[in-house]
Amino acid sequence: MDDLKARGAPIEYWFFKFNLERLAFLVDFILRGERDQGEIRISLWVDGNGRVEHATFPMWSTKSPFVAIGGCSLDADSTRGALRDVEWDMSYEPGPARVHPAVPPVSWLHPFDTEIINRPQARFAGTVRVGDRQFSVPETRGLVSHYWGRRLMDRWWWISANHFDEPGIAVEAIVARSHLWGLRAPAVKIGYLWLHSPNSSHTVISPVNGIISVNGRPDAFTVTSRSITGRNVRLSCSASIDRYNDLGEGIRQTLLGTCAIEGLATASESAGLEWRQAEAWPSGSKRWS
């Protein structure tokens, strides 16, 4: 589990997420700047109603477990904590899949704003309490992620889904703009798409072995991956604007999105979709790519 060990970067995030029938749940553990405090941010939906809880704590550690902030912790096989009227106590297994879109030797120079490692076949079990609602979590599919770097990228689209109508399928994708080595030069477009099915695993890192593009609006957009091997993958993603939680910093997120992989499978109202633009939240018919 070296994937979760702290990197000591100027910003560092750990998070996990999973979906149940009536609950969608994501927790961020955040360290940044001079690290005189840590942050816990919870993004959740109960019966389709979303909310965000966020707090800072002066006490934090990255010794053991991998990260502990206030009374919340993320260890190699468990996570627990409480913030206001939300409490969780979970065990998890990271699963066999590991998505780390790094290309040596360039990645050894750490050129981009952030780096990421995802474990998209994690399994969670335990309990979550939200107010007077107690949710028992049987073994369910989810994600554990760790990313770090100099700064948050100004713009990104993130897609994460593993509850498809066909078994054994999962997808993770990011399309983003990153500065190089923290310079205020024009940003470059980067991204990755990882697609797993029972018979194969397909990864494209843009622009290394293919090109990934995104078009549309937060309520309806497409991600297209074109690999140098000739394989194309198209994701059609959607969620009504009122299903997105406002995380601050120009970030909007839902775990109740729909993601259809053209010709393969659909995850209905269970996909993680996230969009960031450091400027204002878009409106009207304007398109972005």
DSSP 8-state code for residue 75: -
Q: Enter the tokens of residue 91.
A: 């065990």
Q: Are residues 166 and 252 in the same domain?
A: yes
Share the mean pLDDT of the chain.
Answer: 93
Q: Give me the domain span that covers residue 9.
A: 1-97+118-151
Domain count, the chain: 2
Tens digit of each residue's pLDDT (9 = 90 or more) over 148-164? 999 999 999 999 999 99
Say if 240 falls within a structural domain: yes
Residue 202 exposed, middle or buried by CB count within 10 Å (0-12, 13-18, 19+): middle
Determine the 3-state secondary structure of 6 from DSSP. coil
pTM: 0.93
Beta bridge partners of 94: none
Say if 286 falls within a structural domain: no
Beta bridge partners of 119: 144
- Name, in order, each residue with C-beta under 8 angstroms of 214's C-beta and a sequence gap of 6 or more: 157, 175, 221, 222, 223, 224, 288, 289
Distance between CA atoms of 236 and 254, rounded to whole angstroms? 15
Say if 209 falls within a structural domain: yes
Quick one: the chain helix, strand, coil %, rounded to 5? Answer: 5, 60, 35
Residue 227 has pLDDT above 80, yes or no: yes
**HSE value, Cβ hemisphere, 13 Å, CA-based, for 78:** 11
